[in-house]
Amino acid sequence: MPDTTSKTDLSADSSAIPRQALSISNLAFCWDKTQPPLRYPDITLHAGEHLFLRGPSGSGKSTLLSLLGGLILPDTGKLSLLGTDLARLSGGQRDRFRADHMGVIFQQFNLVPYLTTLDNVMLPCRLSPKRRARALPTPENEAESLLTALDIPQSHWHRRVTGLSVGQQQRVAAARALTGGPELILADEPTSALDSDNRDRFIELLLGLAEKKQSSVIFVSHDQSLAERFNHQIALTALDTLERAQ
């Protein structure tokens, strides 16, 4: 049985910039009170660090992202993001916190089909004045820079996003997550629809841009071959417990 009680400090160098992005301890959550809870190991992640989270289907990866996103609250344990205990915030405050500080990339991208590519990327800046203030020099200029860096042809910027290929839409979703420099990026299987070349390129671009913005990335995938690109990795087991892989 893995040890889920000891503290795992995932910071590469505790003497440098220890602005804490994420800290969880004794975290457990139960969807069905008749079943044993999903338990998570203690994790500390500092600003700009990235974490690869893997594990078999049903091991609790998406549930952890929902906890980190404040969509659900832990049954036990503590979860602190950027020094804020999410359980102390009201539902509305958690929504605001998410809009201000998190970028999310889902398997299905969740782009708004009737908006243009540029408007999709700028959406977080419409929803959050904090993100808007950090999108420099302007939200539009930043969106254009991100789309250029992520290889989205300029000819598509002012057209509906649905005209893009799957791989391009995935990169637009990444641009949207990065806009306004959120401190945390949550990515749930964002490369599942890509071939291996596009997948590798996508991860390289995502991590490169996140590093520039000092965003921490929590990246969920079944694909163990991707793990080496990340600072840290955690493996979840199918048995409602997790163990540190490295």
The binding site for ligand ATP (CB under 6 A) comprises 31, 38, 55, 57-63
Closer by beta carbon to ligand ATP, 20 or else 66: 66
Angle value at C-alpha 133, between 127 and 136, nearest 5 degrees: 115
Nearest in space to 194 (alpha carbons), one of 65, 112, 107, 116:
107
Kindly tell me which of 15 and 57 has the beta carbon lying closer to ligand ATP.
57
> Nearest distance from residue 66's CB to ligand ATP, in Å?
8
Spatial neighbors of 178 by CB under 8 A, at least 6 apart, are: 103, 146, 185, 206, 209, 210, 213, 215
Provide the token pair at 167. 């791989």
Q: Quick one: 61 or 232, whose CB is closer to ligand ATP?
A: 61
What is the separation of C-alpha 175 from the centre of its chain, rounded to a whole number of angstroms? 12
Cβ nearer to ligand ATP, comparing 34 with 57? 57
CB of 164 to ligand ATP, least distance (A): 25
Minimum CB distance to ligand ATP, residue 202 (Å)? 19
Smallest distance, Å, CB 53 to ligand ATP? 9
Greatest Cα pair distance in the chain: 54
